Amino acid sequence: MATQDVTAGAQPEALRLRAERRRWGEDLIKGLLALCAVVSVLTTIGIIIALVVPSIEFFREVSVVDFFSGDRWAPLFKPASFGVQPLLVGTLVVTFWACVVCLPCGLGAAIYMSEYARPRARNILKPALETLAGIPTVVLGFFALTFVTPQLQRIGLDVGVFNVLSAGLAVGVLLIPVVASVSEDAMAAVPQDLRAGAYALGSTRLQVSTRIVVPAAISGIIASFVLAISRAIGETMIVLIAAGGIAQIAFDPRDQAQTMTAFIGATGIGDVPTGSIEYKTIFAVGLTLFVITFVMNMISIRLVRKYREIYE
Amino acid sequence: MSVPEALGRRSQGDRVRGTAFYVLLLVSVTIGFLLLGVLLVDVFRKGIGYVDLTLLNEPNSSDPNKAGAGPAIRGTIYMMILLLVFVVPIGVGTALYLEEYANRERWYNRLLEINIQNLAAVPSIVYGILGLAFLVRGIGLGQVLLAGALILTLLVLPTVIVASREAIRAVPDSIRQGAYALGATQWQVVWRQVLPAAIPGIATGSILALARAIGETAPLLLVGALTYVAVNPTLLGSFTALPVQIYQWIARPQEEFRILAAAGIIVLLAILLTMNAFAIWLRNHYQRRW
């Protein structure tokens, strides 16, 4: 009994690990660091305010129904017409051709790096892909305009000087590393046991890759696809340089077209008077672009969390 | 006991399919690099003749033989310095907060993480719109170098945060525990143990992010970088940047300006590839594995 009393009395004394007084300096530092974190929150709030406020003014003058159902985009003509469909179609076609390049190539590169490459090859490939991802888009735009388009013409495709096809293909090249790195992360998270089990049952490398690793990493792979599509929708310079500047509903990739981003870029270059309807179109189109990419980013983030929850 | 004949040997079909798949994978890995190689050769062949002192020093001109990208190159370098000063402290500060201080269970910290992930994927032109609405027109800063640098800061902040967090997370907990056991306060642990150990990773990530920012064109177009600048850019003066200058030349119909654009691209790529190579070297030589 006596010993018990002693320990009961001594324990709080001995285990008092907390600081005896509050350290204000430490609190101040935590506050300063939190303040740094607030910058990114303010950025998001800033983007939303910057887009929504002028857009509300825009939609006072142009009805939302006309904006989304109209098939003629001519904000600078008289009479002006604000149907956003041509820009949406242009964006869609560019994104489609970008996906034709980046989804299979990115996935193939990811499978190669995760399942086939030796560690040494991987150590070279990863930074090389980072470098590819770091090529400025203005350079790829130049490449699309002065190299890809002439090559397409040479192989007998009847493409114009400005065409959606070469822009889309160049965007696709830009996005191969995006698909490859996010997919490869997901494949790396697949437990080694699953592979070992399949090999023990006599599977070939092809079977392990396509029937074990890809299905097991599927949420991460889809996340990489969604992210790439979102990036393709938001890509500006390549499209601005190589796809031309005519807003028209054209599904034929040999024609020229304008995307949402290219419109914003082309209009924003000029010194547009603040408060004019022309100025406000930048924000209305920008808001549309932001909402589309925001939804896709959220889907992608969710999917990545899903495989992390399962495997990590 | 003899092993059955079928065991240990692949069927013909399996081998053919396996090889075909392997070839397909090799093609998808190499196609990007192949194009990168073609791009480099193509640009080099077109533009190398125009890479000279005129290009590096002189301002733009309507005569392609006299036109240079001097103010644009200096504008890019000034922005690089400003970016470094703005983005590294804020980015590392945020990363330290999230990794060392924030309680992951709290909703606002989870929201903060999702917010940063989303910001990393927001189209760069949207940042341009933010700059146009708030910096250039909103607070009346005008189309100045500082506005461009601030917009690029916000643009690459998420990248720096993510890279710094990874570097900080790679520092093993035993180092922190050891320092705490010797009576260090939390900030002493962070400042004297965690940060020094994480610096190579942070530096690599920051340089890669900086290289990305330097190549950005779209957001700068919206804050008014597409303009003629004859003299050295100043903090609160009108400015242009190398990628913007390149775009301006590409947009001209004359063939000579296309060649000039190729020359500008050679300079831009030389800067970026040097930065990339330096970052990779830094990672390979200084990053410790625990």
| Interatomic CA distance for residues B217 and B124, integer angstroms | 9
A237: distance to nearest CA of chain B, Å? 6
Domain that holds residue A222: 73-311
Helix (H, G, I), strand (E, B) or coil at B49: helix
Q: What length does chain B have?
A: 290
Report the sign of the C-alpha dihedral through residues A167, A172, A177, A183, in that order: positive
Chain A residues near residue B69 by CB distance under 8 angstroms? none
| Interatomic CA distance for residues A135 and B266, integer angstroms | 12
First to last CA, chain A: 48
DSSP state of B64: T
Whether residue A114 lies inside any domain: the answer is yes
| Interatomic CA distance for residues A267 and A117, integer angstroms | 46
Interface of A with B in 240-299 (CB under 8 A): 240-241, 261, 264-265, 268-269, 271, 274, 282-283, 286, 289-290, 293-294, 297-298
Tell whether B43 and B61 lie within a shared domain.
no
Question: For residues B164 and A76, which has the higher predicted lDDT (pLDDT)?
Answer: B164
Q: Residue range A282-300: average pLDDT?
A: 94
Asked if pLDDT for residue A5 goes beyond 90, the answer is: no
Tell whether B172 and B37 lie within a shared domain.
no
Chain A residues near residue B101 by CB distance under 8 angstroms? 30, 33-34
Question: For residues A227 and A312, which has the higher predicted lDDT (pLDDT)?
Answer: A227
Tell whether B29 and B65 lie within a shared domain.
no
| Interatomic CA distance for residues B66 and A229, integer angstroms | 42
Question: For residues A249 and A45, which has the higher predicted lDDT (pLDDT)?
Answer: A45
CATH number for the domain harbouring residue B160: 1.10.3720.10
Q: pLDDT for A226-269, tens place per residue?
A: 999 999 999 999 999 998 888 888 888 888 889 999 999 988 88
Chain B residues near residue A112 by CB distance under 8 angstroms? 25-26, 28-29
Establish if B114 touches chain A: CB-CB under 8 angstroms.
yes
Tell whether B24 and B110 lie within a shared domain.
no
Whether residue B4 lies inside any domain: the answer is no
The answer to whether the Cβ–Cβ distance between A134 and B133 falls below 8 Å is: no
Average pLDDT for chain A:
87
Tell whether B34 and B157 lie within a shared domain.
no
- Number of structural domains (chain A) is 1
The answer to whether the Cβ–Cβ distance between A25 and B187 falls below 8 Å is: yes
Tell whether B99 and B127 lie within a shared domain.
yes
Tell whether B58 and B28 lie within a shared domain.
no
Tell whether B36 and B123 lie within a shared domain.
no
| Interatomic CA distance for residues A110 and A121, integer angstroms | 13
Q: Which amino acid is at B249?
A: W
Whether residue B5 lies inside any domain: the answer is no
CATH number for the domain harbouring residue A197: 1.10.3720.10
Whether residue A189 lies inside any domain: the answer is yes
A232: distance to nearest CA of chain B, Å? 9
The answer to whether the Cβ–Cβ distance between B116 and A230 falls below 8 Å is: no
Q: What length does chain A have?
A: 312
- Where does chain A have alpha helices with state H? 2-14, 24-61, 64-69, 85-111, 119-133, 137-143, 149-154, 164-188, 192-200, 205-207, 214-216, 218-234, 237-242, 260-269, 277-311
Asked if pLDDT for residue A9 goes beyond 60, the answer is: no
The answer to whether the Cβ–Cβ distance between A139 and B21 falls below 8 Å is: no
Whether residue B202 lies inside any domain: the answer is yes
Nearest to A37 among B94, B124, B224 (CB): B94
Asked if pLDDT for residue A17 goes beyond 70, the answer is: no
Whether residue B1 lies inside any domain: the answer is no
Nearest-by-CA chain B residue for A288: B126
The answer to whether the Cβ–Cβ distance between B114 and A301 falls below 8 Å is: yes
Interface of B with A in 212-241 (CB under 8 A): 212, 214-218, 221-222, 224, 226
Establish if A302 touches chain B: CB-CB under 8 angstroms.
no
Whether residue A197 lies inside any domain: the answer is yes
Chain A residues near residue B138 by CB distance under 8 angstroms? 50
Tell whether B110 and B143 lie within a shared domain.
yes
Whether residue B42 lies inside any domain: the answer is yes
Which parts of chain B have pLDDT scores under 70? Answer: 1-9, 287-290
The answer to whether the Cβ–Cβ distance between B212 and A134 falls below 8 Å is: yes
| Interatomic CA distance for residues A309 and B20, integer angstroms | 34
pLDDT band at A16 (very low <50, low <70, confident <90, very high): low
Tell whether B37 and B67 lie within a shared domain.
no
Could you count the other beta carbons within 10 Å of the beta carbon of residue B196? 10
Q: pLDDT for B154-183, tens place per residue?
A: 999 999 999 999 999 999 999 999 999 998
pTM of the entire structure? 0.89
A3: distance to nearest CA of chain B, Å? 29
Nearest to A173 among B18, B35, B117 (CB): B35
pLDDT band at A4 (very low <50, low <70, confident <90, very high): very low
A1: distance to nearest CA of chain B, Å? 33
Chain A residues near residue B222 by CB distance under 8 angstroms? 264-265, 268-269
Tell whether B125 and B100 lie within a shared domain.
yes
Whether residue A178 lies inside any domain: the answer is yes
B62: distance to nearest CA of chain A, Å? 19
| Interatomic CA distance for residues A2 and B271, integer angstroms | 77
Cα A159 to chain centroid distance, Å, stands at: 28
Nearest to A136 among B29, B158, B268 (CB): B268
| Interatomic CA distance for residues A17 and B185, integer angstroms | 12
Interface of A with B in 76-135 (CB under 8 A): 104-109, 111-113, 116, 125, 127-132, 134-135
Tell whether B26 and B164 lie within a shared domain.
no
Q: Residue range A122-143: average pLDDT?
A: 89
Domain that holds residue B32: 12-47
Q: What is the phi/psi pair of residue B56, to 5°?
A: -80, -25
How far are the Cα atoms of A37, A103, A121, A306, B216 from residue A222, in angstroms, in the given order?
A: 29, 10, 25, 11, 27
Using alpha carbons only, give the angle B116, B154, B270 rounded to the nearest 5 degrees: 110
Whether residue B2 lies inside any domain: the answer is no
The answer to whether the Cβ–Cβ distance between B215 and A138 falls below 8 Å is: yes
DSSP state of A155: T
How far are the Cα atoms of B76, B119, B124, B219 from residue A137, in angstroms, in the given order?
A: 16, 19, 11, 12
| Interatomic CA distance for residues B281 and B262, integer angstroms | 28
Interface of A with B in 7-36 (CB under 8 A): 19, 23, 25-26, 29-30, 32-36
Establish if B269 touches chain A: CB-CB under 8 angstroms.
yes
Asked if pLDDT for residue A92 goes beyond 90, the answer is: yes
Q: Interface pTM (ipTM) of the complex?
A: 0.89
Establish if B28 touches chain A: CB-CB under 8 angstroms.
yes
- Number of structural domains (chain B) is 2
Whether residue B254 lies inside any domain: the answer is yes
Q: Looking at A18-27, A108-117, A167-176, which range is the least confident one?
A: A18-27
Whether residue B7 lies inside any domain: the answer is no
Q: pLDDT for A116-132, tens place per residue?
A: 999 898 888 888 888 88
pLDDT band at A6 (very low <50, low <70, confident <90, very high): very low
Whether residue A17 lies inside any domain: the answer is no
Chain B residues near residue A274 by CB distance under 8 angstroms? 137
Percentage of chain A beyond pLDDT 70 is 93
